[in-house]
């Protein structure tokens, strides 16, 4: 049954027009669509079940790292899709492309920087990659400039070693104009060096890798960089490290003295779009894989954030400051992620609910006051009309009288809680005042209309 409108003569709103109704419906529909879009965006899976990683050549150090990551991530239900590559340079090129499918990869320091690829972030520095220069001959070399005029292998095109070796040699005045520079794979370079087909070769890798171990025990000479301090100043992406005396063989005292080396830093990097939950999983895996000590670093030195090639991810900063998020420390990954997703969705609604709880008493009070305010407005407008009408007709006086009595009758029927009774009686007092105004206007008209008595 439709609600009977209040008998308001002066402030009664005009009925809803079809145009206004359509406009309100359109606005309401747009608001509803916006809310649905926000909710669907929040409900979109926070993480995918697969990460596409660009690693190095099959059997190389990066590829071996990737396989270890895959084993650890599998425990949390994440599949690591490992794609081989030619090395650090190709990894960098893949990740810098916004529309590529690659999300994570290994890059050697010095390969690129944040200016060239602002969309790449560093998850962690994971290990040193020592740069070894082995050479043949009777002379002892401790400076790269001494290799001028020699036949030198720099490493394969597309590898991080190739870039570093070329930069170091160029800085020391060695170019294709005065030396023979070869681009050979590691094993091939070792064979040609062993057979005196080349004079020197750059290698990169851990001391315990098969190729480096073979070289260290081959009798081929290893260069100690006497200018290492100056070189790391020239090339901030490199670090100075020491391969200690006897590290290869204590029995044979190999090497017979400490050897100063240069080292690049291997980085685990990702696109900035990688979900934070996955970044924390990768950091946990890195902490397991790379925290072991070696000849160059103590235990727990890696992983770290001591690298400046790319921006450090926010998750990395938080991880090294306070560890994994609270829920991920004590719950399985899938459960923690589920709760975090729901909390993200509920948080804005909780904020709105809290605001409503604070606002409900005020809204309720305003709604109660509104029941009285409409009559106050009606009375005020009636009183203004009375004051502004100097010679009301009998019909106008009758209209005013009927209107004030109608207001009084409706005021007696206002359904309002007891705590607002004081406001009701204030309204009735206002009605009484206006009623008196009507009576005064009627008396004044009576006096005006009564003829003066003869003397």
Which of 291, 324, 357 delimits the end of a domain?
Answer: 324
For the stretch 227-252, pLDDT in tens is 999 999 999 999 999 999 999 999 99
250 within domain boundaries? yes
**Average pLDDT of span 150-157:** 94
Contact 266, 306 (CB under 8 A): no
Same domain, 128 and 199: yes
The 8 Å CB, 24+ separation contacts for 59-63 are 60/87, 61/129, 61/205, 61/206, 61/209, 61/266, 62/87, 62/88, 62/91, 62/106, 62/266
- Which structural domain range is residue 158 located in? 50-324
373 within domain boundaries? yes
Same domain, 312 and 363: no
- Pick 402 or 412 by higher pLDDT: 402
Which of 324, 357, 373 delimits the end of a domain?
Answer: 324
Would the pTM of this model clear 0.75, i.e. be above it? no
Same domain, 247 and 373: no
Q: What is the band of 315 on the pLDDT scale with cuts at 50, 70, 90? A: confident
44 within domain boundaries? no
**Average pLDDT of span 128-155:** 96
* Domain count across the chain: 2
Evaluate if residue 328 carries a pLDDT over 80. Answer: no
Q: What is the pLDDT of residue 60?
A: 85
Q: What is the pLDDT of residue 327?
A: 60
Q: What is the pLDDT of residue 2?
A: 44
Same domain, 347 and 318: no
For the stretch 331-355, pLDDT in tens is 665 455 555 555 655 566 677 777 7
For 28, the 3-state DSSP assignment is: helix
Phi, psi of 42 (to 5 degrees): -70, -30
State the residue for tokens 């996955």. 278
| DSSP-derived secondary structure letter, 418 | G
In angstroms, rounded to a whole number, what is the distance separating the alpha carbons of residues 453 and 455?
7
329 within domain boundaries? no
72 within domain boundaries? yes
Conformation bin of residue 125: beta by default, left when phi > 0, alpha when psi is -120 to 50: beta
Instruction: Give the CA count within 13 Å in the CB-facing half-sphere of 233.
Output: 4
Q: What is the pLDDT of residue 455?
A: 45
**CATH for 264:** 3.40.190.10
- Choice among 221-225, 308-312, 353-357, 446-450 with the minimum mean pLDDT: 446-450
The partner residues of 380 in beta bridges, in order of sequence, read none
Q: What is the pLDDT of residue 12?
A: 56
| DSSP-derived secondary structure letter, 304 | B
For the stretch 179-206, pLDDT in tens is 999 999 999 999 999 999 999 999 999 9
332 within domain boundaries? no
Same domain, 307 and 350: no
Percent of the chain with pLDDT over 90: 52
């Amino acid at each position: 049954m439709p609600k009977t409108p209040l008998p308001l003569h002066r402030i009664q709103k005009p009925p809803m027009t079809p145009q206004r109704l359509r406009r309100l419906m359109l606005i309401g529909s747009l608001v509803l669509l916006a809310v649905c879009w926000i909710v669907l965006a929040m409900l979109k899976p926070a993480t995918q079940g697969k990460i596409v990683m660009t690693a190095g050549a099959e059997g190389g150090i990066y590829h071996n790292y990737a396989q270890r990551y895959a084993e650890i991530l599998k425990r949390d239900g994440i599949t690591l899709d490992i794609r081989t590559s030619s090395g650090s340079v190709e990894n960098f090129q893949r990740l810098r492309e916004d529309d590529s499918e690659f999300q994570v990869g290994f890059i050697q320091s010095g390969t690129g920087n944040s200016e060239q690829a602002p969309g790449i972030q560093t998850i962690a520095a994971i290990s040193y990659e020592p740069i070894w220069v082995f050479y043949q001959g009777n002379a002892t070399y401790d400076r790269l400039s001494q290799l001028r005029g020699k036949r030198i292998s720099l490493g394969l095109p597309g590898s991080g070693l190739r870039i570093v070796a070329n930069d170091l040699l160029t800085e020391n005045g060695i170019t294709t104009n005065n030396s023979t520079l070869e681009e050979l794979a590691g094993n091939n370079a070792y064979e040609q060096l062993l057979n005196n087909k080349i004079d020197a070769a750059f290698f990169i890798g851990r001391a315990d890798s098969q190729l480096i171990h073979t070289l260290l025990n081959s009798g081929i000479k290893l260069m100690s960089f006497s200018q290492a301090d100056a070189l790391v100043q020239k090339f901030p992406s490199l670090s100075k490290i020491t391969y200690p005396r006897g590290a290869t063989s204590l029995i044979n005292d190999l090497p017979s003295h400490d050897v100063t080396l240069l080292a690049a830093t291997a980085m685990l990097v990702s696109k900035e779009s990688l979900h934070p939950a996955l970044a924390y999983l990768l950091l946990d895996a890195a902490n397991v894989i790379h925290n072991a000590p070696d000849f160059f670093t103590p235990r727990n030195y890696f992983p770290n954030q001591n690298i400046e090639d790319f921006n450090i991810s926010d998750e990395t900063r938080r991880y090294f400051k306070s560890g994994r998020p609270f829920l991920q420390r004590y719950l399985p990954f899938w459960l923690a992620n589920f709760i975090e997703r729901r909390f993200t969705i509920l948080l804005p609604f909780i904020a709105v609910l809290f605001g409503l709880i604070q606002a409900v008493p005020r809204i309720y009070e305003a709604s109660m006051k509104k029941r009285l305010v409409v009559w106050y407005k009606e009375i005020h407008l009636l009183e203004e009309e009375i004051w502004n009408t100097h010679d009301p007709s009998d019909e106008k006086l009758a209209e005013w009288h009927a209107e004030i009595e109608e207001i009084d009758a409706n005021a007696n029927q206002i359904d309002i809680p007891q705590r607002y009774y004081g406001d009701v009686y204030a309204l009735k007092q206002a009605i009484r005042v206006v009623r008196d105004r009507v009576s005064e206007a009627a008396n004044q008209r009576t006096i005006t209309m009564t003829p003066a008595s003869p003397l």
